[in-house]
Amino acid sequence: MRLRVEFTTEPFDLDEAPAHAVVAREVIQSAELDAVDVGPFGNTAEGGADAVLTAVDELLRKALGAGATRVSLQVNVIGEGGGDDK
């Protein structure tokens, strides 16, 4: 199964990316995911179910630990894949 995750962290700061946003982006960019797109108002990544769910767990823990007061995310199934789902 393939998943797509879309997320944002808050509070927003339009002048400088807050630590929680930087940490969340680093997690997603370093994970074994495809089609990673990071931006100032939202981030998206796709990958196998195991990789996405592992990245989401790490993202939540690290972003909240770095000062996020809210993490909004959406996970969608985008396709079925064979093998180990990685």
Q: What angle in degrees, to the nearest 10, is found between the helix axes of 19-30 and 49-65?
A: 160
Which pLDDT belongs to residue 41? 76
**Beta carbons within 8 Å of 16's beta carbon, 6+ residues apart:** none
pTM: 0.84
Q: What is the pLDDT of residue 63?
A: 97
| Helix spans in the chain (H) | 19-30, 49-65
| Average pLDDT for 65-82 | 89
**pLDDT (average), residues 60-86:** 84
